[in-house]
Amino acid sequence: MTASSLTATFRQGPDAAVVRLQNIGDVFGSAQVGDALARHWALSGKNLVPVVDRGGEFASCPITGKPMQEPVLLDNGLVYEQKDVLVWMRDHSTAPGSNKALGKKTALKLSSLNGALQTFLLRGRTALDLAVEKAKEACNPERQALSPREAQEIALEVNEHLGETTREIRRLQEAALEAESVVESMLFRSSAPGQPRFKWKSPPKRQEEQDAEDNGVAGGGAVEVSAASKTLTLSDSPRASGTGPATPHRIGGGVCGKKPASEGAQERSAKAKAWKEAPCQ
């Protein structure tokens, strides 16, 4: 079996089994594929959305100049409309619009990769989700009690991913502030003299976002580990009120208190404080 053929034949004769290993890396580099996807799709939450121009059209095919319906990637790193580039490749050995020879007459269908990535984004779990699941399992009263070392390892894992998530939240908050500033500037510049100017109104916060602010989650905190007492110390968030000492939460023996349901601002604040101070039961 050669690296280029990616085909292995087992046994001889009419019942020989042929196994094929598909590896797009033999034609397209990982960075090349990722760059092509990034140029034509963007992330919106957990969804991939097509990148469009000011007219709302998808990128145009270099051959026809028309928006692509079924984009495919060639080994020159450019993306073309599938039906048009396949006709081109049938009669040419160079890339469309250039004299550069194509390494292989192979086109990669991007919509299949797009669909795979979309499924992953919707079904995939974050590293923090997995770490928290592990910590919850450790709190199961039916499970054997953790050793101080095991408790510390789980706590450190949660803390590591919590820090990464907090940094990402802050980055998104900064991006949101920049977006609001740009929109305000755009609306101001687009207003005609003597006409009332559009006023930008930020999207209303969802209830869970307001609850998170009331609970001091948005600013992020840190977890300190005490292996001897098997406790986690959750330091107060910079956005949380008060400067009192941090509250310990036990590891093992039960599940921590649940977040209070949504009520009025004062009731949310009072219950949020009680929720933070409640140890594992």
The predicted-structure confidence for 192-248, as pLDDT tens digits, reads as follows: 666 655 555 556 565 555 665 565 544 444 444 444 443 444 444 444 334 444 444
Q: What is the mean pLDDT of residues 154-170?
A: 93
- State whether 87 and 208 are in the same domain: no
> Is residue 198 one of the residues assigned to a domain?
yes
- State whether 131 and 116 are in the same domain: no
- State whether 78 and 135 are in the same domain: no
* Greatest mean pLDDT range, 150-159, 186-195, 263-272: 150-159
> Is residue 9 one of the residues assigned to a domain?
no
> Is residue 1 one of the residues assigned to a domain?
no
Q: Which residue has the higher pLDDT, 190 or 218?
A: 190
> Is residue 182 one of the residues assigned to a domain?
yes
- State whether 165 and 250 are in the same domain: yes
- State whether 102 and 223 are in the same domain: no
- State whether 113 and 174 are in the same domain: no
> Is residue 173 one of the residues assigned to a domain?
yes
Q: Which of 69, 89, 121 delimits the end of a domain? A: 121
> Is residue 16 one of the residues assigned to a domain?
no
Helix/strand number for the chain, H first, E second: 7, 10
Report the 10 Å Cβ neighbour count for 170: 13
The C-alpha atoms of residue 214 and residue 40 are separated, in whole angstroms, by: 39
Q: pLDDT of 29-55, one tens digit each?
A: 889 999 999 999 999 988 999 999 888
Q: What is the DSSP string of 189-258?
A: HHSPTTSPPP---PPPPPHHHHHHHHTT-TT---EEEETTTTEEEEPPPTTSS-----EEEE-SSS-PPP
> Is residue 80 one of the residues assigned to a domain?
yes
3-state helix, strand, coil in the chain (%, to 5): 40, 15, 45
Q: Which of 93, 121, 149 delimits the end of a domain? A: 121
> Is residue 72 one of the residues assigned to a domain?
yes
Helix (H, G, I), strand (E, B) or coil at 272: helix
Q: What's the CATH number where 36 sits?
A: 3.30.40.10
- State whether 134 and 206 are in the same domain: yes
Mean pLDDT for the chain?
74
Residues 36, 74 contacting (CB under 8 angstroms): no
Among the residue ranges 22-31, 162-171, 178-187, 217-226, the one predicted with the least confidence is: 217-226
- State whether 138 and 103 are in the same domain: no
- State whether 179 and 70 are in the same domain: no
- State whether 113 and 138 are in the same domain: no
Q: Which of 97, 121, 145 delimits the end of a domain? A: 121
pLDDT tops 70 at residue 187: yes
Q: What is the mean pLDDT of residues 258-272?
A: 51
- State whether 38 and 76 are in the same domain: yes
Residue ranges making up the domain that contains 62: 29-121
- State whether 143 and 223 are in the same domain: yes
Query: Residue 20: its pLDDT value, please?
Result: 73
Counted domains in the chain? 2
